[in-house]
Structure 1
Amino acid sequence: MSANNLFSHVAIDNYFQLFHLPEQPYGDWYINTIVIGLSTAISSVFVGALAAYAFSRLRFAGRRVGLLALILLQMFPQILSIVAIYLLLTNIGYIVPALGIDSQLALICVYLGGALGTNTYLMYGFFNTVPKEIDEAAKIDGAGHARIFFTIILPLVTPILAVIALLSFIGTVSEYAVASTVLVAPQKQTLAVGLYAFVSQQFSQNWGLFSAGAVLAAVPVVIFFLFL
Protein backbone atom coordinates (compact mmCIF):
# COMPACT_ATOMS: atom_id res chain seq x y z
CA MET A 1 0.00 0.00 0.00
CA SER A 2 1.39 3.37 -0.98
CA ALA A 3 1.44 6.33 1.34
CA ASN A 4 -1.07 8.19 -0.84
CA ASN A 5 -3.69 5.47 -0.31
CA LEU A 6 -3.18 5.19 3.45
CA PHE A 7 -5.97 7.64 4.36
CA SER A 8 -7.98 7.45 1.15
CA HIS A 9 -10.97 5.85 2.89
CA VAL A 10 -12.60 7.74 5.76
CA ALA A 11 -15.37 6.19 7.85
CA ILE A 12 -16.96 6.66 11.26
CA ASP A 13 -18.11 3.08 11.74
CA ASN A 14 -15.74 2.55 14.69
CA TYR A 15 -17.43 5.32 16.66
CA PHE A 16 -20.84 3.64 16.38
CA GLN A 17 -19.41 0.18 17.00
CA LEU A 18 -17.84 1.34 20.27
CA PHE A 19 -21.23 1.58 21.96
CA HIS A 20 -22.52 -1.76 20.68
CA LEU A 21 -19.92 -4.15 22.07
CA PRO A 22 -21.46 -6.53 24.64
CA GLU A 23 -18.15 -7.54 26.26
CA GLN A 24 -16.64 -4.02 26.27
CA PRO A 25 -19.18 -1.54 27.73
CA TYR A 26 -17.56 1.64 26.44
CA GLY A 27 -20.44 3.81 27.66
CA ASP A 28 -19.97 2.56 31.22
CA TRP A 29 -16.23 3.22 31.00
CA TYR A 30 -16.91 6.75 29.83
CA ILE A 31 -19.31 7.54 32.67
CA ASN A 32 -17.04 5.89 35.24
CA THR A 33 -14.07 7.95 34.07
CA ILE A 34 -15.95 11.25 34.25
CA VAL A 35 -17.40 10.47 37.70
CA ILE A 36 -14.09 9.31 39.14
CA GLY A 37 -12.17 12.15 37.49
CA LEU A 38 -14.48 14.92 38.67
CA SER A 39 -14.80 13.43 42.16
CA THR A 40 -11.03 13.17 42.50
CA ALA A 41 -10.45 16.68 41.14
CA ILE A 42 -12.99 18.33 43.45
CA SER A 43 -11.87 16.35 46.50
CA SER A 44 -8.19 16.99 45.78
CA VAL A 45 -8.75 20.73 45.49
CA PHE A 46 -10.81 20.94 48.67
CA VAL A 47 -8.63 18.76 50.90
CA GLY A 48 -5.40 20.17 49.48
CA ALA A 49 -6.60 23.74 50.04
CA LEU A 50 -7.48 22.99 53.66
CA ALA A 51 -4.05 21.47 54.30
CA ALA A 52 -2.25 24.28 52.46
CA TYR A 53 -4.11 26.92 54.49
CA ALA A 54 -3.11 25.20 57.72
CA PHE A 55 0.57 25.04 56.72
CA SER A 56 0.58 28.60 55.43
CA ARG A 57 -1.36 30.43 58.14
CA LEU A 58 -1.15 28.35 61.31
CA ARG A 59 1.85 27.62 63.50
CA PHE A 60 1.74 24.22 65.19
CA ALA A 61 4.08 21.48 66.38
CA GLY A 62 5.38 19.35 63.51
CA ARG A 63 4.73 21.94 60.82
CA ARG A 64 8.26 21.94 59.39
CA VAL A 65 8.47 18.16 59.61
CA GLY A 66 5.15 17.88 57.79
CA LEU A 67 6.31 20.15 54.96
CA LEU A 68 9.53 18.16 54.62
CA ALA A 69 7.55 14.92 54.55
CA LEU A 70 5.39 16.26 51.70
CA ILE A 71 8.55 16.92 49.66
CA LEU A 72 10.14 13.55 50.41
CA LEU A 73 6.97 11.62 49.57
CA GLN A 74 7.02 13.02 46.04
CA MET A 75 10.33 11.24 45.39
CA PHE A 76 8.51 7.89 45.26
CA PRO A 77 6.06 7.27 42.38
CA GLN A 78 2.66 5.84 43.22
CA ILE A 79 3.31 2.74 41.11
CA LEU A 80 5.76 1.51 43.76
CA SER A 81 2.88 1.15 46.21
CA ILE A 82 0.56 -0.91 44.01
CA VAL A 83 1.17 -4.13 45.94
CA ALA A 84 0.62 -2.35 49.26
CA ILE A 85 -2.54 -0.69 47.92
CA TYR A 86 -3.91 -4.04 46.74
CA LEU A 87 -3.24 -5.76 50.08
CA LEU A 88 -4.61 -2.79 52.03
CA LEU A 89 -7.85 -2.60 50.06
CA THR A 90 -8.26 -6.38 50.22
CA ASN A 91 -8.09 -6.34 54.02
CA ILE A 92 -10.28 -3.24 54.32
CA GLY A 93 -12.84 -4.86 52.03
CA TYR A 94 -13.46 -7.60 54.60
CA ILE A 95 -14.60 -4.93 57.06
CA VAL A 96 -15.99 -2.21 54.76
CA PRO A 97 -16.90 -3.71 51.35
CA ALA A 98 -17.46 -0.24 49.86
CA LEU A 99 -13.73 0.47 50.28
CA GLY A 100 -12.41 -2.86 49.05
CA ILE A 101 -11.16 -4.18 45.73
CA ASP A 102 -13.42 -3.49 42.72
CA SER A 103 -14.82 -0.35 44.35
CA GLN A 104 -14.76 3.00 42.57
CA LEU A 105 -14.94 4.81 45.91
CA ALA A 106 -11.79 3.00 47.01
CA LEU A 107 -10.05 4.08 43.79
CA ILE A 108 -11.03 7.71 44.41
CA CYS A 109 -9.58 7.49 47.92
CA VAL A 110 -6.33 6.05 46.55
CA TYR A 111 -6.05 8.84 43.99
CA LEU A 112 -6.85 11.43 46.64
CA GLY A 113 -4.17 10.15 48.98
CA GLY A 114 -1.56 9.89 46.24
CA ALA A 115 -2.08 13.45 45.01
CA LEU A 116 -2.45 15.11 48.40
CA GLY A 117 1.28 15.74 48.86
CA THR A 118 1.92 17.45 45.54
CA ASN A 119 -1.31 19.45 45.62
CA THR A 120 -0.73 20.66 49.16
CA TYR A 121 2.81 21.80 48.46
CA LEU A 122 1.82 23.65 45.28
CA MET A 123 -1.05 25.40 47.05
CA TYR A 124 1.13 26.15 50.07
CA GLY A 125 3.50 28.20 47.92
CA PHE A 126 0.61 30.07 46.31
CA PHE A 127 -1.11 30.73 49.64
CA ASN A 128 2.09 32.35 50.91
CA THR A 129 1.78 35.02 48.19
CA VAL A 130 -1.46 36.29 49.76
CA PRO A 131 -0.58 39.01 52.31
CA LYS A 132 -1.24 37.97 55.89
CA GLU A 133 -2.41 41.51 56.64
CA ILE A 134 -5.68 40.58 54.95
CA ASP A 135 -6.20 37.82 57.51
CA GLU A 136 -5.35 40.16 60.36
CA ALA A 137 -7.84 42.78 59.13
CA ALA A 138 -10.55 40.11 58.91
CA LYS A 139 -9.77 38.89 62.43
CA ILE A 140 -10.14 42.43 63.76
CA ASP A 141 -13.63 42.47 62.24
CA GLY A 142 -14.42 39.24 64.06
CA ALA A 143 -13.90 36.68 61.29
CA GLY A 144 -12.72 33.21 62.22
CA HIS A 145 -10.52 30.83 60.26
CA ALA A 146 -13.48 29.27 58.43
CA ARG A 147 -14.81 32.63 57.20
CA ILE A 148 -11.33 33.83 56.24
CA PHE A 149 -10.66 30.63 54.33
CA PHE A 150 -13.92 30.38 52.39
CA THR A 151 -14.75 34.05 51.76
CA ILE A 152 -11.31 35.69 51.47
CA ILE A 153 -8.51 33.23 50.73
CA LEU A 154 -10.21 30.90 48.26
CA PRO A 155 -11.36 33.68 45.88
CA LEU A 156 -7.81 35.08 45.86
CA VAL A 157 -6.16 31.75 45.01
CA THR A 158 -8.57 30.68 42.26
CA PRO A 159 -5.79 30.22 39.64
CA ILE A 160 -3.98 27.52 41.62
CA LEU A 161 -7.29 25.81 42.37
CA ALA A 162 -8.01 25.60 38.64
CA VAL A 163 -4.52 24.23 37.95
CA ILE A 164 -4.80 21.56 40.64
CA ALA A 165 -8.26 20.55 39.45
CA LEU A 166 -7.08 20.24 35.85
CA LEU A 167 -3.95 18.26 36.73
CA SER A 168 -5.93 15.93 38.99
CA PHE A 169 -8.58 15.33 36.33
CA ILE A 170 -6.05 14.66 33.56
CA GLY A 171 -3.98 12.40 35.79
CA THR A 172 -7.03 10.39 36.81
CA VAL A 173 -8.40 9.99 33.28
CA SER A 174 -5.07 8.79 31.88
CA GLU A 175 -3.98 6.62 34.84
CA TYR A 176 -3.81 2.88 34.13
CA ALA A 177 -1.68 0.95 36.64
CA VAL A 178 -3.62 1.62 39.85
CA ALA A 179 -7.04 1.57 38.13
CA SER A 180 -6.34 -1.84 36.53
CA THR A 181 -5.32 -3.19 39.94
CA VAL A 182 -8.29 -1.89 41.94
CA LEU A 183 -11.12 -2.27 39.39
CA VAL A 184 -11.85 -5.82 38.23
CA ALA A 185 -15.40 -5.95 36.83
CA PRO A 186 -15.58 -4.72 33.19
CA GLN A 187 -18.56 -2.43 33.86
CA LYS A 188 -16.65 -0.63 36.65
CA GLN A 189 -13.43 0.04 34.75
CA THR A 190 -12.19 3.37 33.42
CA LEU A 191 -11.39 4.30 29.84
CA ALA A 192 -7.65 3.79 30.25
CA VAL A 193 -8.17 0.23 31.47
CA GLY A 194 -11.00 -0.63 29.10
CA LEU A 195 -9.39 0.68 25.93
CA TYR A 196 -6.30 -1.42 26.58
CA ALA A 197 -8.43 -4.52 26.00
CA PHE A 198 -8.75 -3.59 22.32
CA VAL A 199 -5.00 -3.90 21.73
CA SER A 200 -3.79 -6.16 24.54
CA GLN A 201 -4.41 -9.51 22.83
CA GLN A 202 -1.87 -10.67 20.29
CA PHE A 203 -4.26 -11.87 17.60
CA SER A 204 -7.26 -9.58 18.16
CA GLN A 205 -5.81 -6.09 18.08
CA ASN A 206 -8.35 -3.55 16.91
CA TRP A 207 -6.57 -0.25 16.51
CA GLY A 208 -9.60 1.33 14.82
CA LEU A 209 -11.80 0.96 17.90
CA PHE A 210 -8.90 1.90 20.15
CA SER A 211 -8.21 5.11 18.23
CA ALA A 212 -11.88 6.09 18.07
CA GLY A 213 -12.24 5.50 21.81
CA ALA A 214 -9.10 7.51 22.52
CA VAL A 215 -10.42 10.47 20.51
CA LEU A 216 -13.72 10.45 22.43
CA ALA A 217 -11.81 10.08 25.70
CA ALA A 218 -10.02 13.37 25.01
CA VAL A 219 -13.30 15.31 24.75
CA PRO A 220 -13.97 15.65 28.52
CA VAL A 221 -10.39 16.80 29.11
CA VAL A 222 -10.68 19.50 26.44
CA ILE A 223 -14.05 20.69 27.76
CA PHE A 224 -12.76 20.76 31.36
CA PHE A 225 -9.67 22.68 30.24
CA LEU A 226 -11.70 25.29 28.36
CA PHE A 227 -14.14 25.59 31.26
CA LEU A 228 -11.36 26.34 33.74
Structure 2
Amino acid sequence: MARKLANGDNDTRLRGKRWWAQVGWKHIFALLMIVYCLFPILYVISASVNPGGTLTGSNRLFQAFTGQHYADLFASQFPRWLLNSFYVSGVTAVGTVLMAAAAAYAFSRFRFKGRRGGLTALLIVQMFPQMLAFIAIFLLALALGEIFPGLGIGSHLQLIAIYLGGALGANTFLMYGFFNTIPMDIDEAAKIDGASHAQIFWGIIMRLVTPILAVVGLLSFVSSYGDFILARIILPRTEDYTLAVGLYVWGSDERNAPWGLFAAGAVVAAIPIVLLFMYLQKYIVSGLTAGGVKG
Protein backbone atom coordinates (compact mmCIF):
# COMPACT_ATOMS: atom_id res chain seq x y z
CA MET A 1 0.00 0.00 0.00
CA ALA A 2 2.80 2.40 0.94
CA ARG A 3 4.56 1.49 -2.28
CA LYS A 4 1.42 2.38 -4.30
CA LEU A 5 1.14 5.74 -2.53
CA ALA A 6 4.79 6.44 -3.24
CA ASN A 7 4.30 5.56 -6.90
CA GLY A 8 1.22 7.79 -7.00
CA ASP A 9 3.18 10.74 -5.55
CA ASN A 10 5.94 10.11 -8.06
CA ASP A 11 3.41 10.16 -10.93
CA THR A 12 1.99 13.45 -9.62
CA ARG A 13 5.44 15.01 -9.53
CA LEU A 14 6.07 13.81 -13.06
CA ARG A 15 2.84 15.39 -14.23
CA GLY A 16 3.83 18.60 -12.50
CA LYS A 17 7.25 18.60 -14.17
CA ARG A 18 5.69 17.85 -17.52
CA TRP A 19 3.20 20.70 -17.05
CA TRP A 20 5.98 23.16 -16.22
CA ALA A 21 8.02 21.96 -19.19
CA GLN A 22 5.17 22.28 -21.68
CA VAL A 23 2.87 24.99 -20.31
CA GLY A 24 4.14 26.55 -17.10
CA TRP A 25 7.12 28.36 -18.60
CA LYS A 26 4.81 30.10 -21.05
CA HIS A 27 2.88 31.68 -18.17
CA ILE A 28 6.12 32.93 -16.63
CA PHE A 29 7.29 34.30 -19.96
CA ALA A 30 3.92 36.01 -20.51
CA LEU A 31 4.07 37.66 -17.08
CA LEU A 32 7.59 38.92 -17.75
CA MET A 33 6.53 40.36 -21.09
CA ILE A 34 3.52 42.08 -19.49
CA VAL A 35 5.78 43.68 -16.87
CA TYR A 36 8.27 44.66 -19.58
CA CYS A 37 5.51 46.33 -21.65
CA LEU A 38 3.70 48.00 -18.75
CA PHE A 39 6.73 49.61 -17.12
CA PRO A 40 7.29 52.30 -19.84
CA ILE A 41 3.57 53.11 -19.75
CA LEU A 42 3.60 53.49 -15.97
CA TYR A 43 6.75 55.61 -16.21
CA VAL A 44 5.15 58.02 -18.70
CA ILE A 45 1.97 58.28 -16.63
CA SER A 46 4.08 58.93 -13.51
CA ALA A 47 6.02 61.66 -15.34
CA SER A 48 2.75 63.28 -16.49
CA VAL A 49 1.54 63.70 -12.88
CA ASN A 50 4.93 64.62 -11.43
CA PRO A 51 4.93 68.33 -10.41
CA GLY A 52 8.66 68.56 -11.10
CA GLY A 53 8.13 68.27 -14.84
CA THR A 54 11.37 66.37 -15.46
CA LEU A 55 12.08 62.80 -16.47
CA THR A 56 15.04 62.42 -14.10
CA GLY A 57 12.80 63.35 -11.17
CA SER A 58 10.38 60.54 -12.02
CA ASN A 59 12.63 57.62 -11.12
CA ARG A 60 10.35 56.81 -8.21
CA LEU A 61 6.95 56.10 -9.71
CA PHE A 62 4.03 58.21 -8.48
CA GLN A 63 5.96 59.84 -5.65
CA ALA A 64 3.90 63.03 -6.17
CA PHE A 65 0.66 63.89 -7.95
CA THR A 66 -0.57 66.95 -9.80
CA GLY A 67 -3.07 67.56 -12.59
CA GLN A 68 -1.51 70.85 -13.67
CA HIS A 69 0.21 69.33 -16.68
CA TYR A 70 -3.11 68.13 -18.08
CA ALA A 71 -4.69 71.52 -17.43
CA ASP A 72 -1.81 73.25 -19.23
CA LEU A 73 -2.06 70.69 -22.02
CA PHE A 74 -5.58 71.66 -23.01
CA ALA A 75 -4.74 75.34 -22.66
CA SER A 76 -2.04 74.97 -25.33
CA GLN A 77 -2.25 74.09 -29.02
CA PHE A 78 -2.56 70.40 -28.19
CA PRO A 79 -6.39 70.22 -28.77
CA ARG A 80 -5.92 71.69 -32.25
CA TRP A 81 -3.17 69.17 -33.03
CA LEU A 82 -5.42 66.40 -31.74
CA LEU A 83 -8.28 67.48 -34.02
CA ASN A 84 -5.88 67.71 -36.97
CA SER A 85 -4.70 64.15 -36.30
CA PHE A 86 -8.27 62.87 -36.03
CA TYR A 87 -9.20 64.59 -39.30
CA VAL A 88 -6.18 63.36 -41.26
CA SER A 89 -6.25 59.83 -39.84
CA GLY A 90 -10.05 59.44 -40.07
CA VAL A 91 -10.28 60.55 -43.69
CA THR A 92 -7.24 58.44 -44.56
CA ALA A 93 -8.74 55.35 -42.93
CA VAL A 94 -12.09 55.72 -44.70
CA GLY A 95 -10.47 56.50 -48.05
CA THR A 96 -8.04 53.59 -47.74
CA VAL A 97 -10.84 51.13 -46.96
CA LEU A 98 -12.94 52.27 -49.93
CA MET A 99 -10.09 52.37 -52.43
CA ALA A 100 -8.49 49.10 -51.36
CA ALA A 101 -11.86 47.31 -51.22
CA ALA A 102 -12.75 48.45 -54.74
CA ALA A 103 -9.35 47.42 -56.11
CA ALA A 104 -9.38 44.07 -54.30
CA TYR A 105 -12.92 43.32 -55.54
CA ALA A 106 -11.86 44.02 -59.13
CA PHE A 107 -8.75 41.82 -58.90
CA SER A 108 -10.64 39.03 -57.13
CA ARG A 109 -13.84 38.90 -59.19
CA PHE A 110 -12.96 40.12 -62.68
CA ARG A 111 -10.65 38.55 -65.24
CA PHE A 112 -9.12 41.22 -67.46
CA LYS A 113 -5.95 41.83 -69.43
CA GLY A 114 -3.12 43.01 -67.21
CA ARG A 115 -4.63 41.61 -64.02
CA ARG A 116 -1.56 39.59 -63.01
CA GLY A 117 0.75 42.37 -64.13
CA GLY A 118 -1.15 44.86 -61.97
CA LEU A 119 -0.93 42.64 -58.91
CA THR A 120 2.79 42.12 -59.51
CA ALA A 121 3.35 45.84 -59.95
CA LEU A 122 1.61 46.60 -56.65
CA LEU A 123 3.78 44.02 -54.91
CA ILE A 124 7.02 45.34 -56.41
CA VAL A 125 6.21 48.96 -55.52
CA GLN A 126 5.71 47.99 -51.88
CA MET A 127 9.20 46.46 -51.73
CA PHE A 128 10.92 49.84 -51.99
CA PRO A 129 11.37 51.74 -48.70
CA GLN A 130 9.30 54.90 -48.35
CA MET A 131 12.46 56.79 -47.34
CA LEU A 132 13.49 56.74 -51.01
CA ALA A 133 10.40 58.74 -52.02
CA PHE A 134 10.52 61.62 -49.52
CA ILE A 135 12.39 64.02 -51.79
CA ALA A 136 10.19 63.13 -54.76
CA ILE A 137 7.05 63.58 -52.64
CA PHE A 138 8.21 67.00 -51.46
CA LEU A 139 9.04 68.19 -55.00
CA LEU A 140 5.74 66.82 -56.30
CA ALA A 141 3.84 68.61 -53.52
CA LEU A 142 5.59 71.88 -54.40
CA ALA A 143 4.75 71.53 -58.09
CA LEU A 144 1.18 70.50 -57.39
CA GLY A 145 0.69 73.47 -55.07
CA GLU A 146 1.48 75.85 -57.91
CA ILE A 147 -1.39 74.41 -59.96
CA PHE A 148 -3.84 73.57 -57.16
CA PRO A 149 -3.08 75.71 -54.08
CA GLY A 150 -5.37 73.57 -51.93
CA LEU A 151 -3.10 70.55 -52.52
CA GLY A 152 0.24 72.21 -51.88
CA ILE A 153 2.63 72.38 -48.94
CA GLY A 154 0.76 73.01 -45.70
CA SER A 155 -2.45 71.31 -46.83
CA HIS A 156 -4.00 68.46 -44.88
CA LEU A 157 -5.58 67.23 -48.11
CA GLN A 158 -2.12 66.85 -49.63
CA LEU A 159 -1.00 64.79 -46.64
CA ILE A 160 -4.12 62.62 -46.89
CA ALA A 161 -3.52 62.04 -50.60
CA ILE A 162 0.06 60.93 -49.88
CA TYR A 163 -1.12 58.52 -47.19
CA LEU A 164 -3.78 57.08 -49.50
CA GLY A 165 -1.30 56.44 -52.27
CA GLY A 166 1.25 54.84 -49.99
CA ALA A 167 -1.21 52.46 -48.34
CA LEU A 168 -3.06 51.30 -51.45
CA GLY A 169 -0.75 48.47 -52.52
CA ALA A 170 -0.32 46.59 -49.24
CA ASN A 171 -3.96 46.96 -48.23
CA THR A 172 -5.16 45.83 -51.66
CA PHE A 173 -3.15 42.61 -51.28
CA LEU A 174 -4.48 42.12 -47.76
CA MET A 175 -8.09 42.51 -48.91
CA TYR A 176 -7.51 40.50 -52.08
CA GLY A 177 -6.71 37.38 -50.08
CA PHE A 178 -9.81 37.89 -47.94
CA PHE A 179 -12.08 38.48 -50.95
CA ASN A 180 -10.90 35.19 -52.44
CA THR A 181 -12.32 33.31 -49.45
CA ILE A 182 -15.86 34.38 -50.38
CA PRO A 183 -17.42 31.86 -52.79
CA MET A 184 -18.22 33.05 -56.30
CA ASP A 185 -21.57 31.27 -56.00
CA ILE A 186 -22.86 34.21 -53.97
CA ASP A 187 -22.12 36.60 -56.82
CA GLU A 188 -23.68 34.27 -59.40
CA ALA A 189 -26.84 33.83 -57.34
CA ALA A 190 -27.16 37.60 -56.96
CA LYS A 191 -26.68 38.09 -60.71
CA ILE A 192 -29.44 35.58 -61.42
CA ASP A 193 -31.72 37.65 -59.20
CA GLY A 194 -30.89 40.71 -61.29
CA ALA A 195 -28.31 42.41 -59.06
CA SER A 196 -25.70 44.63 -60.65
CA HIS A 197 -21.99 44.65 -59.76
CA ALA A 198 -22.51 47.74 -57.62
CA GLN A 199 -25.37 46.10 -55.72
CA ILE A 200 -23.33 42.94 -55.18
CA PHE A 201 -20.32 44.93 -53.99
CA TRP A 202 -22.12 47.30 -51.61
CA GLY A 203 -25.03 45.11 -50.50
CA ILE A 204 -23.41 41.68 -50.19
CA ILE A 205 -19.61 41.59 -50.41
CA MET A 206 -18.91 44.60 -48.21
CA ARG A 207 -21.03 43.10 -45.43
CA LEU A 208 -19.25 39.76 -45.64
CA VAL A 209 -15.77 41.29 -45.46
CA THR A 210 -16.40 43.44 -42.38
CA PRO A 211 -13.43 41.94 -40.42
CA ILE A 212 -10.85 42.87 -43.04
CA LEU A 213 -12.41 46.31 -43.48
CA ALA A 214 -12.02 46.91 -39.76
CA VAL A 215 -8.41 45.68 -39.79
CA VAL A 216 -7.39 47.80 -42.79
CA GLY A 217 -9.13 50.85 -41.37
CA LEU A 218 -7.46 50.35 -38.00
CA LEU A 219 -3.97 49.86 -39.47
CA SER A 220 -4.40 52.88 -41.72
CA PHE A 221 -5.63 55.05 -38.86
CA VAL A 222 -2.80 54.02 -36.54
CA SER A 223 -0.04 54.45 -39.15
CA SER A 224 -1.19 57.94 -40.19
CA TYR A 225 -1.95 58.93 -36.58
CA GLY A 226 1.61 58.25 -35.51
CA ASP A 227 3.44 59.30 -38.68
CA PHE A 228 6.05 61.98 -38.18
CA ILE A 229 8.33 62.32 -41.23
CA LEU A 230 5.73 62.94 -43.94
CA ALA A 231 3.68 65.20 -41.68
CA ARG A 232 6.80 67.22 -40.81
CA ILE A 233 7.62 67.68 -44.49
CA ILE A 234 4.14 68.68 -45.65
CA LEU A 235 2.97 70.76 -42.65
CA PRO A 236 5.36 73.66 -41.90
CA ARG A 237 2.96 75.85 -39.86
CA THR A 238 2.50 75.25 -36.14
CA GLU A 239 -1.30 75.45 -36.20
CA ASP A 240 -1.45 72.71 -38.86
CA TYR A 241 0.72 70.21 -36.98
CA THR A 242 -0.47 66.74 -36.16
CA LEU A 243 0.19 65.20 -32.74
CA ALA A 244 3.44 63.50 -33.70
CA VAL A 245 4.97 66.71 -35.05
CA GLY A 246 3.65 68.87 -32.21
CA LEU A 247 4.96 66.60 -29.49
CA TYR A 248 8.33 66.42 -31.25
CA VAL A 249 8.59 70.21 -31.24
CA TRP A 250 7.95 70.22 -27.48
CA GLY A 251 10.67 67.65 -26.87
CA SER A 252 13.23 68.93 -29.38
CA ASP A 253 15.09 70.97 -26.75
CA GLU A 254 16.38 68.29 -24.39
CA ARG A 255 17.48 70.68 -21.62
CA ASN A 256 14.47 73.01 -21.47
CA ALA A 257 11.73 70.75 -22.81
CA PRO A 258 8.46 70.64 -20.80
CA TRP A 259 8.69 66.90 -20.16
CA GLY A 260 5.69 66.85 -17.84
CA LEU A 261 3.57 68.45 -20.56
CA PHE A 262 5.10 66.12 -23.12
CA ALA A 263 4.27 63.04 -21.02
CA ALA A 264 0.70 64.23 -20.46
CA GLY A 265 0.28 64.73 -24.21
CA ALA A 266 1.64 61.24 -24.90
CA VAL A 267 -0.85 59.72 -22.45
CA VAL A 268 -3.83 61.57 -23.94
CA ALA A 269 -2.69 60.78 -27.49
CA ALA A 270 -2.53 57.04 -26.72
CA ILE A 271 -6.08 56.83 -25.32
CA PRO A 272 -7.93 56.93 -28.72
CA ILE A 273 -5.73 54.16 -30.12
CA VAL A 274 -6.30 51.94 -27.08
CA LEU A 275 -10.07 52.48 -27.26
CA LEU A 276 -10.07 51.76 -30.98
CA PHE A 277 -8.18 48.49 -30.49
CA MET A 278 -10.55 47.44 -27.72
CA TYR A 279 -13.60 48.19 -29.87
CA LEU A 280 -12.29 46.36 -32.94
CA GLN A 281 -10.46 43.50 -31.24
CA LYS A 282 -13.13 40.96 -32.25
CA TYR A 283 -12.35 41.65 -35.91
CA ILE A 284 -8.57 41.78 -35.73
CA VAL A 285 -7.74 38.05 -35.49
CA SER A 286 -10.32 36.92 -38.05
CA GLY A 287 -9.44 39.74 -40.40
CA LEU A 288 -5.72 39.01 -40.37
CA THR A 289 -5.92 35.22 -40.60
CA ALA A 290 -8.87 34.49 -42.93
CA GLY A 291 -7.08 35.91 -45.95
CA GLY A 292 -4.50 33.12 -45.84
CA VAL A 293 -7.03 30.30 -46.16
CA LYS A 294 -7.50 30.59 -49.88
CA GLY A 295 -6.11 32.65 -52.63
Cα displacement string for residues 33-88 of structure 1 (whole angstroms, at most 9, x for unaligned residues): 01111100000001100000000001111110111111111112223211111100
Determine the structure 2 residue equivalent to 1:89.
141
- Note closer, same or farther for the CA distance 1:3–1:217 as it changes in structure 2 (3 Å cut): closer
Q: For structure 2, which runs of at least 5 residues remain unmatched after alignment?
A: 1-55, 281-295
Please identify runs of 4+ aligned residues in structure 1 that moved more than 6 A: 1-4
Aligned length, in residue pairs: 225
- Who is 1:68 aligned against? 120
Partner residue in 1 for 2:200: 148
Q: Residues of 2 paired with 1:77 and 1:212: CA distance?
A: 33
TM-score, normalisation: structure 2: 0.73
Q: Shift of residue 6 of structure 1? A: 5.2
Question: How far off is 1:136 after superposition?
Answer: 0.8
Decide whether aligned partners of structure 1 residues 148 and 30 sit closer, same or farther in structure 2, where only a CA change above 3 A counts.
Answer: same
Check conservation: 1:126, 1:160, Cα contact below 8 A. yes
Q: Which has the larger radius of gyration?
A: 2
Q: Among 156, 179, 201, which residue is 1:104 paired with?
A: 156
Query: Could you report, residue by residue, the CA deviation over 1:107-136 in whole angstroms, capped at 9, with x for unpaired residues?
Result: 000000000001100000000000001111
Q: Which amino acid aligns with 2:233?
A: T
Structure 1 residue 4: deviation in Å? 7.8
Residue identity in the other structure for 1:69: A
Distance 1:198 1:85, change over 3 A: same
**Cα 1:214–1:4, aligned 2, differ >3 Å: closer, same or farther?**
closer
> Counterparts of 2:58 and 2:153 in 1: how far apart (Å)?
47
Match of 1:7 in 2: 62
Residues in 2 aligned to 1:186 and 1:87: alpha-carbon distance in whole angstroms: 21
Q: Residue 79 of structure 1 contacts residue 177 of structure 1 at CA under 8 Å; is this kept in 2?
A: no
Asked whether 1:34 is paired with 2:34, we answer no
Pair 7,136 (structure 1): closer, same or farther in 2 beyond 3 Å: same
The alignment's TM-score, normalised by the length of structure 1, stands at 0.94
Correspondence for 2:256: 204
Code of the aligned partner of 2:215: V
Q: 1:19 aligns with which of 55, 74, 78?
A: 74
Contact 1:101–1:183 (8 Å) recurs in 2: yes
Distance in 1 between the 2:214 and 2:112 partners? Answer: 28
Report 1 or 2 for greater relative contact order, CA contacts < 8 Å, sequence distance ≥ 6.
1
Unmatched runs of 5 consecutive residues or more in structure 1:
none
Q: CA deviation at 1:189?
A: 0.8
